[in-house]
Amino acid sequence: MGISIDREEFSENDYLAFSGRLYDSLDVLKGYMQRPSFGKAPKLVGAELENYIVDSAGKVLPINQKIIKAADDARYTVELNRFNLEVNFDPFPLSGNVFSELQQNIDDHLSRLQTTANEFDAEIVPIGILPTLQYSDLGKHSMTDLARYRSLSKQLFKMRGEHFQVDISGEEQLQVNSNHVALEGANTSFQFHLMINHENFANAFNAVQLTTPLVLALAANSPIFLGKSLWDETRIALFKQSIDSRRRGEVEWRQPSRVSFGHGWVRKDAHEIFAEAVALYPPMFPILSDISIDSSADNDNLSPLDELCLHMGTIWPWNRPVYCPKDGGHVRIEMRALPAGPSSADMCASAAFAAGLAFGLNDHIEDLLAVTPFRFAEYNFYRAAQKGLDASIVWTQPSKHKPQEQAITTVIESMLPIAEKGLVDIGLNQHEIDRHLGNIRDRLSKKQTGAIWQRKMLSKLNEKHDKQTALFQMFQHYRQWQKTKAPITEWSFERLK
């Protein structure tokens, strides 16, 4: 966010002024998008990785600010809870061996962070939800002590008017409530950014929306929360419920959640999504930027539209557009549904598969959308989060014209050639393509994801130990295997020597 959130109280005039600036920003953005130079910079990919900080026993350590201060790197930032931190990776050109370069960059930064964490007897762990997490770890005291997080919690709770309710049914059921947003901080993700030419944005974004369930089922790594075995990717349910600011029963029409899969296919360009966000969601942080909005700015000095970017940062669709004024301006796609972990190889292979599908479906996407109601894509997303590779989804093959319920594994298998075509089209080396799609094929053929491995490992340990001991031992096995940097398909259920 370009605007610093340094206060927690706002007046009615603050909201009025901020809303006016949002609508002005939409008009300016529309003008920028109509320029021939907009969205024409060379394609890049980027990523962010959220991590847990734990001690040697697998319990959370609330020391993110200490580690970040010691590491002294602007690419490392705090997260909502004190036991999480984020790494922002440098962008890479989308060509050649880009995903291997990203993988190496992830490994390098995690190694550097771990060296710093060693000074505090801590470990840095990428995992969607820490299986050893306890409810007592998620009190208001666990939130990072910064104004933006205090204000976030206060504003969401004020909008809701009552406790946040979490009710998730999976293999087991979990019901908890909270008067703050620390529960959301249990989620850590691997967020992948993909630059798209402006004229291809709608097709690419719709393709990402359509295929996110496939990538999510393969990437699932969050089956346990507060000792309960829930969804394969429990983050999806937990994120939505833990910060749901809607007031129940206040209006008859269905209010949109600030955490959603979206509200429909994009028809023309990204401006629709920005306009929808301004229209549907009230501002949370009505703070004006010192930088003015200039519709006539030259291409090298486009306005950053700080208020619009701040507002978009308070809405959390699983895929969203991100505006950037640099190099003539562009809007990239931020994919937010994937969890952290289990290995850098797995995260980068998932990103490669997602990118391949985004570009590979370009020639088919309009025909697919004509016979695929958006609610089917949303249905598929939540089925994939619940069941992972055991899910059944509603899908239309590009060569056919009728949606049918199919095993998600069958759909993934059929889409691998399309993903490969997409990666070829954007200039990746064949060895690079084979390496990362080979990882996807292995997960599919061996039916092993981070979530499946955690469930199986826990089931084995439950035969010998009480539940709490089994959870901590499962996590120790996870950490041992993660340190090898091996992809999840090479993880066994035996303790490493």
Strands 44-54 and 92-93: antiparallel
Q: Decide which of 446 and 178 is more confident.
A: 446
Bridge partner list, 214: none
Chain segment 233-264, per-residue pLDDT in tens: 999 999 999 888 776 655 555 678 999 999 99
Amino acid 272: pLDDT: 98
Tell me the pLDDT band of 163, cut-offs 50, 70 and 90. confident
Residue 32 lies in a domain: yes
pLDDT higher than 70, residue 112: yes
Of 81-85, 87-91, 227-231, 394-398, the one with minimum mean pLDDT is 394-398
State the pLDDT confidence band at 361, using cuts at 50, 70 and 90: very high
- pLDDT, tens only, 65-89: 999 999 999 999 999 999 999 999 9
Please give the pLDDT value at position 250. 55
Q: For residue 97, what are the CA distances in angstroms to 56, 63, 340, 440?
A: 35, 35, 22, 17
Count helices and strands (H / E) in the chain: 15, 14
Identify whether 6 is part of a domain: no
Residues 6+ apart with CB under 8 A from 43: 93, 94, 95, 194, 195, 196, 197, 426
> Within a domain: residue 371?
yes
**Does 229 have pLDDT greater than 70?**
yes
- Give a yes or no: residue 3 inside a domain: no
Interval 320-330 mean pLDDT: 97
Give the separation between CA 67 and CA 113, rounded to whole angstroms: 8
pLDDT at 253: 55
Q: What is the CATH number of the domain that holds 386?
A: 3.30.590.20
Please report which confidence band the pLDDT of residue 1 belongs to, taking 50, 70 and 90 as the band edges. Answer: very low
pTM of the model: 0.96
Token pair belonging to 259: 């955490």
Q: 51-79 burial, b if ≥16 CB within 10 A, otherwise e? A: bbbbeeebebbbbbebbbebbeeeebebb
Has residue 162 got a pLDDT over 80?
no
Question: What's the CA gap between 288 and 17, in Å, rounded?
Answer: 8
Asked whether residue 1 is assigned to any structural domain, the reply reads: no
pLDDT over 80 (residue 401): no
The reply to whether 4 falls in a domain is: no
Domain that holds residue 65: 12-490
Q: What are the pLDDT digits (tens) for 194-226?
A: 999 999 999 999 999 999 999 999 999 999 999
- The three-class DSSP label of residue 39 is coil
Picking from 184-188, 280-284, 399-403, 477-481, which range would have the lowest pLDDT averaged per residue?
Answer: 399-403
Q: What does the alpha-carbon distance between residue 45 and residue 131 come to, in Å, rounded to a whole number?
A: 30
Answer for the pair 100, 438: CB distance below 8 angstroms, yes or no: no
Of 257 and 128, which is predicted with more confidence?
128
Whether residue 2 is contained in a domain is answered as: no
Cβ-Cβ contacts under 8 Å for 154 (sequence gap 6 or more): 8
Asked, for residue 203, whether it belongs to a domain, the answer is: yes
The total of structural domains in the chain comes to 1
Q: What is the mean pLDDT of residues 435-450?
A: 99
Q: What is the mean pLDDT of residues 276-288?
A: 95
pLDDT at 276 (0 to 100) = 97
- pLDDT band of residue 180 (cuts 50, 70, 90) is confident
* Average pLDDT over every residue of 308-321: 97
Q: How many angstroms separate the CA atoms of 396 and 365, rounded?
A: 11
Average predicted confidence (pLDDT) for the chain? 95
Q: Is the pLDDT of residue 2 over 70?
A: no
Residues 6+ apart with CB under 8 A from 99: 45, 348, 349, 351, 352, 428, 432, 436
**Res. 399 pLDDT band, cuts 50 70 90:** confident
Residue 397 has phi, psi (to 5 degrees) of -70, 145
User: Do 257 and 318 touch, CB atoms closer than 8 A?
Assistant: no
Mean of the pLDDT values across residues 107-133?
98
Q: What is the distance between the alpha carbons of residues 379 and 377, in angstroms, rounded to a whole number?
A: 5
**Rounded (5°) CA angle 70-120-494:** 125
